[in-house]
Amino acid sequence: MTSTPQDLLTESSTPTDQAVTLPGSGSGLEPSRVLVVEPHPTLRTVLVQRLRQDGHLTAAVGRAVEALEVCQDQSPDLLVSAEILEQSSALRLAGQLRCPVIVLTARSGAEPVVGLLEDGADDVLRKPFGLEELAARCRTLLKRGHSGLQERVTVGPLEVHLLLRQVTLRDKPVELSPREFALLCALLMPPGLVRSRQELLRMAWPPFSGGPRSVDTQVLTLRRKLEQAGLGEGGGITTVRQRGYRFSLDNLPSS
């Protein structure tokens, strides 16, 4: 029988015509319970598979009503949800489930992100996003609970605002495309670490898109923009032969 996204709701596969419940907690240390609510079936499956790699007990449904059914007995530790749902929304669903939420939005610009955060979202990711970025944000939020996520990364004169997706160099804005921003974040987490092209694809590209040449092209444009902003030759990004790329503090100018 062909598997469906609902088959991933529990650790073992369950027929799709039977009710499925999110695994509850017992005694001792147990994995976190993460509920994914995403109408697109392919993306839903990919998200579940990635989060399960981190050991989370991950459920996946396409509608808010299904999420409420899955969580009748116990709320999840974290909700990862598309912003707009059939007859509901990610924020409304999080309020009903009484759990933190990472909202996946397709809207562009800073205002929607700010609005979602002010309205109660614990974190916001703009589509398209990299799977590794989502996984990292899930780990951070589960670890910190409601204490808040890291909002900024500062490396020398460069400051990256993660939630608003804004970059400044010596307090002056640097305009980057969503893909360039995701690529920069991948290179900065942490700075100095060599990232292969395949790693950068997983971290900064949506599933099933892009290739090694796409990485090279985006690195080239990112370098040019950082150079033009005044970050020095190569924009702080160095090529490590036969290995990939890294963001090098050695390339940063002193002033």
For 195-236, what is each residue's pLDDT tens digit? 889 888 877 776 666 788 899 999 999 999 999 998 888 899
Best-predicted range by mean pLDDT (6-15, 22-31, 32-41, 65-74): 32-41
Tokens of 220: 């080239």
Provide mean pLDDT across the span 30-38: 84
Q: Using the predicted structure, report yes or no on whether residue 55 has a pLDDT greater than 90.
A: no
Q: What is the pTM of this model?
A: 0.54
* Nearest to 130, CA basis, from 156, 104, 152: 104
Domain architecture of the chain: domains with CATH: 5-147 (3.40.50.2300), 152-251 (1.10.10.10)
pLDDT tens digits, residue range 139-166?
888 886 534 445 678 888 899 887 677 8
Confidence of residue 21 (pLDDT cuts 50, 70, 90): very low
Output the average pLDDT for the chain. Answer: 80
Identity of the highest mean pLDDT range in 123-132, 142-151, 182-191: 123-132
Q: Are 246 and 237 in contact (CB under 8 A)?
A: yes
Q: How far apart are the first and last CA of the chain?
A: 63
Report the C-alpha gap between 92 and 103 in whole angstroms: 11
- Angle at which helices 41-53 and 131-144 cross, to 10°: 60
Tokens describing residue 64: 């808010």
Per-residue pLDDT, 11 = 36
Check residue 163 and give its pLDDT: 65
Handedness of CA 178, 179, 180, 185 (dihedral sign): positive
Distance of CA 50 to the CA centre of its chain: 11
Rounded to 10°, the helix 131-144/197-204 angle is: 60
Selection from 153, 159, 119, 116 nearest residue 133 by Cα: 153
How far from 184 is each of 82, 171, 227, 247, CA to CA, in Å? 24, 17, 13, 8
Highest mean pLDDT among 7-11, 228-232, 247-251: 228-232
Instruction: Name the residue among 35, 81, 29 with its Cα closest to residue 58.
Output: 35
- What is the C-alpha separation between 41 and 27, in angstroms, rounded? 34
At position 171, the amino acid (one-letter code) is: D
**Structure-model confidence comparison of residues 67 and 29, the more confident one:** 67
Q: Locate tokens 């999110």: which residue?
A: 22
- What pLDDT is attached to residue 249? 67
